[in-house]
Amino acid sequence: MSSTETEELKIEIPGGQVYIKKWIPEFDNGKAPIILLHDSLGSVDLWQEFPERLSQAFSRSVFAYDRLGFGKSDARNSLPSKKFVEEEAAIYFPSIKKLLCLESYVLFGHSVGGGMAINIASRDSDCRAVITVSAQAFVEDLTVKGIEDAKKMFEQPGQLERLEKWHGSKAKWVLHAWTDMWLSDEFKDWSLEPAIQNVHCPVLAIHGDSDEYGSSAFPRFISEHSGGSSRMLIIKGCGHMPHKKKAQEVITATGEFLDSFT
């Protein structure tokens, strides 16, 4: 297996500095890099070895960044607005793209990061493809129940420390940014519908059949409503973390998907 180098940097975008990590394969094929978009409690470091495996498997550079308020990026003073998914596409990602000098790219988004990927692709024709993993397409009863259960779990002694390992003093903000928004009345009608019809690049929607935060209606919605070619993959015996629990299956499916048009 070829070696992979890494680079770390911080760049200034509207609202503060974001932390970015890049994985560079020994032999880069020059194809569009893959950009990872993390979930509601995620961070660059929580991707663990997955970015390196992607980089080595496809001989492409891989980028991951901590959104403002998460991981090693700057803190935010207030909770996100109800338009936070769309704002990542309209405000923050364009600045990151410009400063990284990205001419074309592939998006790989986990959970809410998948929704952000759909919104970015709907606005930017430089996005060559989107892979969503466990992405929400709207707010299901199962989504609400899963978040309510997680909120109760984090109220138990010692549980917040699990987030502090990855987010430091921002851990409580990260938790509230997730639960307060998704459980609010103002967010219950959120949907990918306004954006997805404007996505014309190829889309692969991956979902576990036992996902505790959403049913197979999500990947079906994404694959059926995308404006371009699309496909759906349901992974058996898997919950909300296919890229960790079934990593090789996700990597294989991603490779077959990318090979089909590049």
Considering only CA atoms, which of 259, 258, 262, 247 is closest in space to residue 133?
Answer: 247
Q: What's the CA angle centered on 205, arms 173 and 202, to 5 degrees?
A: 115
Angstrom distance (rounded) from CA 260 to CA 192 = 25
Report the pLDDT averaged over residues 20-33. Answer: 95
Angstrom distance (rounded) from CA 101 to CA 137 = 30
Copy the structure tokens of residue 233.
């993959």
User: Is the pLDDT reported for residue 2 higher than 70?
Assistant: no
User: Is the pLDDT reported for residue 76 higher than 60?
Assistant: yes
Diameter over CA atoms, the chain? 50
What is the three-class DSSP state of 157?
Answer: coil
User: Is the pLDDT reported for residue 254 higher than 90?
Assistant: yes
**Total count of residues recorded for the chain:** 262
User: Is the pLDDT reported for residue 137 higher than 90?
Assistant: yes
Angstrom distance (rounded) from CA 142 to CA 191 = 15
H helices within 155-230, ranges in order? 160-167, 171-182, 193-196, 217-225
User: Is the pLDDT reported for residue 62 higher than 80?
Assistant: yes
Copy the structure tokens of residue 19.
């932390």
Single-letter amino acid, residue 134? S
Angstrom distance (rounded) from CA 197 to CA 250 = 25
Single-letter amino acid, residue 23? W
Which residues are CB-neighbours of 81 under 8 A, at least 6 positions away? 87
Torsion, Cα 62 88 230 27, to 10 degrees, reads -10
Burial class (CB in 10 A: 0-12, 13-18, 19+), 193: exposed
User: Is the pLDDT reported for residue 1 higher than 70?
Assistant: no
Give, rounded to a whole angstrom, the gap between the first and last alpha carbons of the chain: 23
Q: What is the pLDDT of residue 262?
A: 63
pLDDT, tens digit, for every residue of 173-230? 999 999 999 999 999 999 999 999 999 999 999 999 999 999 999 999 999 999 999 9
Angstrom distance (rounded) from CA 161 to CA 74 = 19
User: Is the pLDDT reported for residue 237 higher than 80?
Assistant: yes
pTM more than 0.95? yes
pLDDT > 90 fraction of the chain, expressed in percent and rounded: 97
Angstrom distance (rounded) from CA 94 to CA 99 = 9
3 — pLDDT class (breaks 50, 70, 90)? confident
Q: What is the pLDDT of residue 234?
A: 98
Q: What is the pLDDT of residue 261?
A: 79
Name the one residue in this structure whose structure tokens are 């590049």: 262
User: What is the rounded average pLDDT for all residues in the chain?
Assistant: 96
Report the pLDDT averaged over residues 128-156. Answer: 97
Q: Dihedral of CA 53/57/61/66: which sign?
A: negative
Report the pLDDT averaged over residues 122-135. Answer: 98
Report the pLDDT averaged over residues 73-96. Answer: 97
pLDDT > 70 fraction of the chain, expressed in percent and rounded: 99
Report the pLDDT averaged over residues 50-66. Answer: 97
Sorted by where each starts, the structural domains of the chain and their CATH numbers stand as: 4-138+191-259 (3.40.50.1820)
